[in-house]
Structure 1
Amino acid sequence: MKKDNKPLGPSQRMLRVGELVRHALADIFARGEIEDEALAGSVVTVPEVRMTPDLKLANAYVMPLGGAHADEIVTVLNRHAKYIRGRIAPRINMKYAPEIRFFVDDTFDEASRIDALLRSDRVKRDLDHDGDDSDED
C-alpha cells in the first residue's frame, strides 16, 4: 500500500470488469461481428483488458494470431470502437459501457526477449561460475 492507503494495483472491481470486457471482445472477434476487409481471415486474441478506476475506459490489448499486421488490425479496431462498444454493452450488464481503446499486446515479444537473455552465453557462464563457487565450500 502507498502512504495514503490506496492500493498499488487495480482493484478487484477493475479486474472483474476488465475480465468481463475481455470475454465480450473475444466473443465478438470469434463470431466475426466486425465486418472489415482488414479483419477478414484474422484471428485476434485479447490477452488483457485494463480498466481505469472509474470504469469508463477500457484499454484492450490485442494480438492477431502469428502477430502479422498487428498495427493495422489495431487501427481497424480503433476505427470500429464505437460499434464494438455498442455490441459489448448488453453483454457486460453495466449501467454504462466503457469506451474502448485498442493497443498491440507486446507481452509476448517482451517474454521472448527475456527468454533469449536468460539463454544467452553470458548468463550461462555466470550460472556455471556460481555453481563452481558452491562446490568449493
Structure 2
Amino acid sequence: MAKNKYHDSGPTQRQLRVGELIRRTLAEVLARGDIHDPDLNRMSITVGEVRTSPDLKIATAYVLPLGGKGKEEVVKLLARHKGELRHIIGKKAGLKFTPDLRFQLDQTFDQMDETRRMLSQDAVRRDLEE
C-alpha cells in the first residue's frame, strides 16, 4: 500500500522554506509598524514559527507578545488585519501565491517552563540519576 505523501513524513522542504520566508517577513512588518493600527504597533510581537499546509494555501503563524501580556488581544488584532498583512507579505516576500494567514499563540515557552519545572522535582531528579 502506498503512503500518502502528506502524512507520516513531516513538512516538505518547500513548506519549510515558505514558512520561514513568511515568518521573517511577518516579523519585519510587525517590528517596523507597517500595519495601520496604533494598538498593534504599540506591541512587540515575537513570531516563533510559521507552518504551512501541504498545499501552501494556509499559513499558521505562532506568535507571542513580548513579556506575555495581552496574549489574546494580539491574536485578535492580527486576525483583524490578516488581509492587509497577507497583501504586504505577498509584496515583500515576492510570493506568487500568498497563503491565507492564521494566528495562534506560541506555547513553546510555556512548554519549556513546564518541562524545566518537572525536571527540577526531587523524584524526577532521583530517577534521572539512577
TM (norm. structure 2) is 0.91
2:119 alignment partner in structure 1: 118
Worse-matched range after superposition: 82-91 or 29-38 = 29-38
- SS of the equivalent of 2:42 reads coil
What is the rounded CA distance, in whole Å, between the counterparts of 1:93 and 1:127 in structure 2? 49
1:96 Cα deviation from its structure 2 partner: 1.1
1:37 Cα deviation from its structure 2 partner: 3.8
Q: 1:48 to 1:107 in 2, by over 3 A?
A: same
Structure 1, unmatched stretches of 5+, are: 131-137
Residue of structure 1 equivalent to 2:91? 90
Q: Does residue 1:107 correspond to 2:74, yes or no? A: no
**Residue 36 in 1 paired to residue 47 in 2?**
no
CA distance in 2, matches of 1:20, 1:127: 40
- Find the counterpart in structure 1 of residue 54 from structure 2: 53
Per the TM alignment, residue 40 of structure 1 is displaced from its structure 2 partner at its CA by 4.1
Tell me if structure 2 keeps the 8 A contact 1:44–1:63: yes
When normalised by structure 1's length, the TM-score is 0.87
Q: Deviations over 1:57-96 (max 9, x none)?
A: 1000001101111111111100100010011111222211
Aligned residues: 128
Separation in structure 1 between the aligned mates of residue 45 and residue 95 of structure 2, nearest angstrom = 25
Partners in 2 of 1:52 and 1:116 — Cα distance?
33
